[in-house]
Amino acid sequence: MCSFDSETGSLGVESTLREIGTLIETLAELSKAPLRPEEFYHEFLRRVVSALAAAGGIIWTRDASGDLVAAYEFGQTGAADDAGASHATWHRSSAAWVLARGGATAIAPQCVPASDVLRPNPTGMLLLFCPWHVEGDQQGVVEIAQRPGAGPDLERGYLRFLEVACQLLADYQRNVLLRDLRGRAAQWTAVESFTRQVHGQLDLLPTAFAIANEGRRLLGCDRVSVLVKQGSACRVVAVSGTESCNRRSNSVRLLEQLTAAALAAGDELWYPADGQRAPQVEELLNAYLDESHTRGLGILPLRGSVTSDGSRDAEIIAGVVIERFHNVVDDLADGAWRRNVSTLTAHSALALRNALDVETLPFSRLLRQLRVWGQSLRRRRLARTAAVVVVAAVAVAALLLVPGDFTVEARGALQPSRTCDIFAPDDGVVQELLAQSGASVTADEVLLVLRNPALELEHKRIWGELQTARTRLAAVESVQVLNRRADADARRRDTELTAQREELEALIAGLEAQYEIVQQQQSALQIRSPIDGIVLTWNAEQLLAARPVARGQVLLTVADLTGPWHVELQVPERRMRHLSEAQRQAADKLAVSFALLTDPAQVRQGRLASVGGRTETTESGGAVVWATVDVEAAEITERLPGAGVVARIHCGQRASGYVWLHDLLDFVRTWILF
């Protein structure tokens, strides 16, 4: 796990930690990916075995009976050497013992674990076992075959790393379970919709079309057809996506013949699933496939009743044909899809049985026709209809002619106009917090003091170098004064000392400049208030006291609650056309009425000051344009920054119908006419 530097003879701990961190992040991303268990197990073991420089690994999981089975094996684990089955049994027993024990364990070669039922490790490997669980339920064990010879510290490191990896394996299982639960929820929603639609009618045609259309949505196929059995033949009564079908077409006739032959056999027919079919069925199937170009086909028999002993001898009353024309997949292996098929056949059989029973009642067609005639007679009550028309005409005229106040609604917050966010000037640790939440502060008052150990170290370093340079300069100057320059060597020495003195003076000047900059940086760590006001940051003590902060991080917010206030509104994007037109037509700023959520009974007034020039997306997912509203100080009695506001921007007079129905008109223009 650690890389060794041959030149320095020390372990590259930092490089190893980065590699382990990268591996953990990779495994965490894998645990969130929608991979099949075999794919995830392969990638998981490959990375873990590579990180530990091991020989191989096994993932043991519980089967339906609760026994451990090897779900996936990677590399050489010693589970199948010369001893064969005995070694595999020992590995399984060891994994079961570790799972029952509930903690990570290492078993050295030829060593006996703390168990009365296990033999010594028969392999030449150091075997690392670590259990993993989901929601407190033990799910399985990860086994890693490591090369022997590791020291106790390295062995403990192996086990700690394996425990972290097993936690990510458990996260993958949780994500799999969550996706399965979501899929089941969606499936139950689709099943509920299907059953509600197919059992909502007792007439044959509406029921058959509900089965065809809703069954197509439930199964996600391209076409579903419903055929009713008439003697030994079948008749198409509904096809999904169509209102009627031409029974004289060649494809419909072949489908009726194929379905009749398949229902006569009494079993489901699937294509292209393998299986032996009767020659007459195979011939009709090939003819229909050539005619319809279907790439996937299923014919499901619908039985009229369920026998008490669960046998399949009940009479077949109809059939459902499922077809795919593109992207044929092996849906038969999908358990959820098979359950949907079973749901479709069960409810379709019951709904068709009830519809056929109603269809066979005496005078059923006459009764349906009488019901239609009665509905038609009720529609012909001319006097009532005329009255309704007159009332509707008057209402329409009022909507078109009576003006109304047109407003644009928006939500926002009340804010003081003078608000300052105080940012951290540099990385550091909060050494002293002088201003508490809600405290009154004055301009240039120290609010908090930061401490930057790196800056302090730099300050001491520069100060030390400065003192050293000054000492050296004093020494050079002393030597230069004592040098009498009597001969050429003395003059040359004097020249060298002059050069050293000038060099030291330049060095001292640079260090003094650095020292001044560092002092300014340290002075900046005393953060002061830019304005008079109140500290708005909630719970500042717990958020900042002795906490590390990063450069640019917002530490405190100070606001002047005694000064002017304004309202920040989020105008929905779809309202901007009305607002822009009203601004162009108005001679003055638009009036705004608003109510605070803290005091909704009182309506306050303001003026629209500015409107943003671009659209922004908020956290709620809606597109809005920011706008500000000027508010008189007398309008604000409860000065609570950030209080919610519901506002109406007055955009002039429009027809009452447009005022009430402009949302519907915009919808029609955008989604229907466009």
What pLDDT does residue 227 have?
92
Please enumerate in sequence order all residues whose Cβ is within 8 A of that of 515, keeping only pairs 6 or more positions apart, or say none.
Answer: 459, 462, 463, 466
Could you give the CA distance from residue 479 to residue 348 in angstroms, rounded to a whole number? Answer: 112
Please enumerate in sequence order all residues whose Cβ is within 8 A of that of 632, keeping only pairs 6 or more positions apart, or say none.
Answer: 605, 606
| H and E: helices and strands count for the chain | 15, 25
Could you give the maximum distance between any two Cα atoms of the chain, in Å? Answer: 145
Q: Map out the domains of the chain as residue ranges.
A: 13-179, 201-359, 422-555, 563-673
What architecture does CATH give domain 563-673?
Answer: Beta Barrel (2.40)
Taking only the tens place, the pLDDT of each residue in 634-669 is 777 778 888 889 999 988 888 877 777 777 777 777
8-22, 285-299, 485-499, 526-540, range with the lowest pLDDT = 8-22
Nearest in space to 95 (alpha carbons), one of 64, 60, 125:
60
Domains 13-179 and 201-359 alike in fold? yes
Contacts by 463-469, CB closer than 8 A, 24 or more apart? 463/515, 465/511, 466/508, 466/511, 466/512, 466/515, 469/504, 469/507, 469/508, 469/511
Contact in structure between 417 and 497 (CB atoms under 8 Å): no
Task: Kindly tell me if the per-residue pLDDT of 366 is higher than 70.
Answer: no
Nearest in space to 433 (alpha carbons), one of 450, 413, 408:
450
Please enumerate in sequence order all residues whose Cβ is within 8 A of that of 229, keeping only pairs 6 or more positions apart, or say none.
Answer: 260, 263, 316, 317, 318, 319
What pLDDT does residue 373 have?
61
Task: Kindly tell me if the per-residue pLDDT of 407 is higher than 70.
Answer: yes
Please enumerate in sequence order all residues whose Cβ is within 8 A of that of 214, keeping only pairs 6 or more positions apart, or say none.
Answer: 193, 194, 197, 198
What pLDDT does residue 627 have?
92
137 by DSSP, 3-state: which?
Answer: strand
Residue type, 66: G
Could you give the CA distance from residue 247 to residue 256 in angstroms, rounded to a whole number? Answer: 9
Show the beta-strand stretches assigned E in 446-497. Answer: 446-451
Average pLDDT of span 5-9: 36
Taking only the tens place, the pLDDT of each residue in 261-279 is 888 888 888 888 766 788 8
Average pLDDT of span 90-105: 83
What pLDDT does residue 368 have?
66
Contact in structure between 337 and 234 (CB atoms under 8 Å): no
What pLDDT does residue 77 have?
73
pLDDT > 90 in the chain, percent: 2
CATH class, 201-359 region: alpha beta
What pLDDT does residue 328 have?
59
Alpha carbon separation from 214 to 102, 192, 210, 219 (Å, rounded): 49, 11, 6, 9
31-45, 351-365, 393-407, range with the lowest pLDDT = 351-365
How buried is 186 (Cβ within 10 angstroms: 0-12 exposed, 13-18 middle, 19+ buried)?
A: exposed
The vertex-121 CA angle with 117 and 125, nearest 5°, equals: 155
What pLDDT does residue 321 have?
92
What pLDDT does residue 115 have?
58
Taking only the tens place, the pLDDT of each residue in 563-613 is 888 888 988 888 888 888 888 888 888 889 998 888 888 888 889 988 888
CATH of 13-179, one of 1.20.1260.10, 3.90.950.20, 3.30.450.40, 3.30.565.10: 3.30.450.40
The vertex-312 CA angle with 309 and 318, nearest 5°, equals: 135
